[in-house]
Amino acid sequence: MNKALFVLTTALFFSACSGDSPSPAPACDNSAQPSYLYRSGTTHLEVYSLTSCSFEPLFIKGVNLGIATPGKYAGDLETAATKADFLRWFQLMTDAGINVVRVYTLHMDFFYDALYEFNTAREANGLKPLYLSHGIWLDEASPAVDLYTVTSGFSTNINEVVNAVHGNITLEPGAPRYGKGYGTYTSDVSKWVLAWIIGREVHPDEVEFTNADNSAINSYTGTTLSLPSGTPTEAWITARLDEVIDYERTTYDTERPISFSSWPTLDPLTHSTELDPDPSDPDVGPWEDSETIDLANIDISNAPAGVFYSFHAYPYYPDFISEEPGYQEYSDSNGTNSYLGYLNALKNHYTGRPVIIAEFSVPSSWGSVHNAHSGMHHGGHDETTQGLYGARMLQNIHDANMGGGMLFAWIDEWWKPTWLTNEFDFPFSRRAYWHNIMAPEENYGLLGFTPTTIDADYSNLTWTSGDITTTKAIADAAYYRLQLDLLNPLSTNDEILIAIDTYDDTSAILGETQISSNVSNKIVAPITTTQGSEFLLRIYHSTSWHAQLYVSSGYDLYGLYGGELEPGSTLQSPEVPTNTWKMVKWKTNYTIYTGTDRNSIDYTSFYSVSENTEFNAGQLQVRGLTGNSNSKDAIILSNNQIEIRLPWGLLQFSDPSLLQVFHDDSATTNTTQESMTSNGIAQAIIFNGILQGETARHSWAPWTELIRDTDYSETIKQSYDIYKSAITNIGN
């Protein structure tokens, strides 16, 4: 860029984003103005101000942006989020006080057109821009490879992204571009690109292979950056950072702060709970602390915009964030908080340069798959708690003297896998077509998507007279819904049991056919049903209203991940009834080694090593007659009506869009779980210990696509407003 033009553009830009109406720039000494707008300070990234004629710190209140709307995957850049979506989302972001949006890879050209249009309009109105933290994706190889073997492809990505943000490249579509944007890039958004965060979470085996294959490389000297000493992996990363800075400086006469994406698994810290109990045995030991990347020794003498450190850091993973005794000594206004302890340790290691937490948050999923010492678990939160915990973590980031954080994430993305639910949530190729509200990874957004009905209306199910007058059922992309109408107003003495048959009607004995007093003290003699059921829902009052979902012992998936099933589980509905019901629970953690003695403990055993770790997934939230609405409400009670919504993942549908239920075929020898086609769902309903009757089977038409406004609508979650209110007073 021409120097005079750059100075003029800079003056106009910073007068516009000062927060006041545009006015002539003050008479700064042009010769002293740098050729870059942003730099890495000692604790924060800094923005050059033409008001003060100096760099001023910016506390980042950012958010990570994905584009996969329902029915779409992360690579569907062309057909998922639209320019109109981006413009609407940018407005919602800035309304909430978010000042940085982060993307991981090159987007379609209309993303940059939208940002240019949005920020130009804000400048014209004297408002600060929405800054962009841009990634340059490091392609993944399976199996993992030495990073030096993928340098060429990464260099291509660097070239494309740098040129794209400067509005100076045309990229044609094609199969190799899946997951990478294309188009004619003419919108120069570079003046709003606050920083580069290149790469991704590198896995320990990639570090291991890279270091082993290139053991002679222990330093790097480049044009802008140098590494006097380090591992081969650290040298490779330094070279890639140098490549980005050098290319943008040479081509566009500017630069900006840069970082390589990392995570606690590769942090430079030592954790006593991750010491290797047997270094001589490669199969025994802590995977999370097996490799390290430390870029603290990078020499930035020739890179004045500087380097910073970025980490994806969550309060529940890896285990050492919760288990490290020193971290547990920390607390904030909400109580003990090992997450704050970890942040302080990380910042204390990296002195003199900013540390940015580039991903943090908790999901608003009904299911939880990992517990945290702080209570900020990997799931199991309602939307209000999600917003409060997001704000709590941003405050922790601020209190640890870090440069800010970027919340994960802007929208819920239905395609995302979760390690525990992957075992019964498949195939991956169809996961985006339905919403598993039980799966944490699908529920991180401040914005969500509410399914409309797949059926046109509630289906009236055949029913006889009794205390339950009518029953209705409906299917949508997230829940199976029931509605029960009562003859008389609901009393706290009442109890409802609903036996649920999810398989088919080809056999009267497929599933459990008996309901006994072991699940209800209102049942005097065992009740026998014609249908065979896989699940049993109990709604009852004890001090307050409660609901618990049970599963046939043969169909119990507890311990499925890791092959630690409970005795009697065959992973399918029993052909011969056992008349045994078990609470639906998830085994969320597995045996790990800690300390130096290979003592097996469970993740949440902070106070007792004998404590078991499990999540009662079937304990459902009930909204009573006078209760307030909550995003986790599964049972909604009114005087003469009970509304029930049961997540598909809780009913062990592997793919409700094709009516597929989990059903592992024990005759196969492969390790992949299987499914079978359901004929629909039937219920047997018991009211106060008396069988009311059994419904007709309710089925629904499969769906193979999701159409916006027809099958789903965008929703601002309760967490958005909570987070918006809380972050106003955090940072500058």
We report the CATH number of the domain holding residue 116 as 3.20.20.80
Closest CA to 377 of 357, 360, 362: 362
pLDDT of residue 513: 92
Lowest mean pLDDT among 129-133, 205-209, 319-323, 640-644: 319-323
At which residue do the structure tokens 């949440």 appear? 604
Lowest mean pLDDT among 257-261, 300-304, 569-573: 569-573
Within a domain: residue 102? Answer: yes
**Exposure string for 515-541, b = 16+ CB within 10 A, e = fewer:** beeebbebbeeebebebbbbbbbbbbb
Q: Do 109 and 142 touch, CB atoms closer than 8 A?
A: no
Determine if residue 571 is left, alpha or beta; phi over 0 gives left, psi from -120 to 50 gives alpha, anything else beta: left
277 vs 595: CA distance, rounded Å: 7
Q: Kindly state whether residues 526 and 440 are assigned to the same domain.
A: no
pLDDT bracket for residue 673 (50, 70, 90): confident
- The stretch 71-90 carries a mean pLDDT of 97
Which range among 11-15, 71-75, 622-626, 702-706 shows the weakest confidence by mean pLDDT?
A: 11-15
Q: Length of the chain, please?
A: 732
The pLDDT, as a whole number, for residue 237 is 98
Q: What is the 3-state secondary structure (H, E, C) of 301-361?
A: CCCCCCECEEEECECCECHHHHHCHHHHCCEECCEECHHHHHHHHHHHHCCCCCEEEEEEC
Do 144 and 94 sit in the same domain of this protein? Answer: yes
Look at residue 333 and tell me if it is in a domain: yes
Q: Indicate if the alpha-carbon torsion angle 281, 282, 286, 292 is positive or negative.
A: positive
Is 470 exposed, middle or buried, given 0-12, 13-18 or 19+ CB atoms closer than 10 A?
middle
Same domain, 440 and 530: no
Q: What is the DSSP letter of 388?
A: H
Map tokens 């025994």 to a residue: 284
Question: Measured between alpha carbons, how far is 521 from 592 in angstroms, rounded to an integer?
Answer: 40
What's the pLDDT at 630?
A: 94
| Residue 240 pLDDT level (bands cut at 50, 70, 90) | very high
- Residue 628 pLDDT level (bands cut at 50, 70, 90): confident
Q: Which of 9-23, 139-153, 206-220, 270-284 has the lowest mean pLDDT?
A: 9-23
Q: Is the pLDDT higher at 396 or at 508?
A: 396
Q: Do 70 and 712 form a contact (C-beta atoms < 8 A)?
A: yes
Q: 476 and 340: one domain?
A: no
Is 477 found in the same domain as 347? no
- Note whether 500 and 697 are within 8 A (CB): no
Q: Which domain holds residue 309?
A: 55-449+716-727
Same domain, residue pair 549 and 433: no
Q: What is the mean pLDDT of the chain?
A: 89
351 & 296 share domain:
yes
Written as six digits, the tokens of 373 are: 């010492």
> Mapping DSSP to helix (H, G, I), strand (E, B) and coil, where does residue 512 land?
strand
Percent of the chain residues past pLDDT 90, beyond the cut:
74
Biggest alpha carbon–alpha carbon distance for the chain? 92
Residue 563 pLDDT greater than 90, yes or no: no
Total domain count, the chain: 2
| 608-620: b (≥16 Cβ within 10 Å) or e | eeeeebbbebbbb
723 domain residue, yes or no = yes
- pLDDT digits over 358-401, tens only? 999 999 999 999 889 999 999 999 999 999 999 999 999 999 99
Same domain, 426 and 526: no
613 or 587: whose pLDDT is higher? 587
Q: What is the C-alpha radius of gyration for the chain, rounded to an integer number of angstroms?
A: 28
Q: Check: CB of residue 499 under 8 Å from CB of residue 515.
A: yes
**What mean pLDDT comes out for the span 232-236?**
98
Mean pLDDT of 710-726: 96
CB distance 322 to 271 below 8 Å? no
Q: Does any domain span residue 496?
A: yes
Write the CA distances from 708 to 77, 82, 452, 453, 462, integer angstroms. Answer: 16, 12, 10, 12, 33
In a domain, 13, yes or no: no
Buried b (16+ CB within 10 A) or exposed e, 102-111: bbbbbbbbbb
Contact 731, 686 (CB under 8 A): no
15 within some domain: no
Query: Among 586, 566, 590, 592, which residue's Cα sits nearest to residue 578?
Result: 566
**Rounded CA separation 484/641 (Å):** 6
Does position 311 have pLDDT exceeding 50, yes or no? yes
> Which residues, 6+ apart, have CB-to-CB distance to 697 below 8 Å?
501, 505, 679, 680, 681, 682
- Confidence check: pLDDT of 232 > 70: yes
Token pair of 575 as six digits: 């052909």
Residue 461, domain member (yes or no): no
Same domain, 367 and 426: yes
More confident residue, 78 or 31: 78
Residues 720 and 677 in one domain: no
Close Cβ partners of 245 (under 8 Å, ≥ 6 residues apart): 223, 224, 225, 255, 258, 303, 305
Q: How many CB atoms lie within 10 A of CB 600?
A: 12
Buried (b) or exposed (e) across 427-455, using 16+ Cβ within 10 A?
eeebbbbbbbbbbbbbbbbbbbbebeebb
385 shares its domain with 281:
yes
Residue 275 confidence (pLDDT):
67
Asked if residue 480 and residue 622 are part of one domain, the reply reads yes
Q: Tokens 């997450």, residue?
A: 339
For the ranges 9-13, 227-231, 341-345, 669-673, the lowest mean pLDDT is seen at: 9-13
Task: Find all residues with CB under 8 Å of 550, minimum gap 6, and list them.
Answer: 519, 535, 536, 537, 538, 581, 582, 583, 584, 618
- 3-state SS, residue 248: helix
Question: Which token pair is 701?
Answer: 């038409």
Per-residue pLDDT at 26: 52
Question: What pLDDT band is residue 276 in, cutting at 50, 70 and 90?
Answer: low
* Cα–Cα distance for residue pair 268/309, rounded to 1 Å: 12
- Overall average pLDDT of the 222-234 stretch: 98
pLDDT-based confidence at 577, cuts 50/70/90? confident
Contact 434, 659 (CB under 8 A): no
**464 part of a folded domain:** no
Check: CB of residue 110 under 8 Å from CB of residue 4. no
C-alpha span between 570 and 589 (Å, rounded): 21
pLDDT at 575: 83
Nearest CA to 368 out of 650, 70, 64, 656 is that of 650
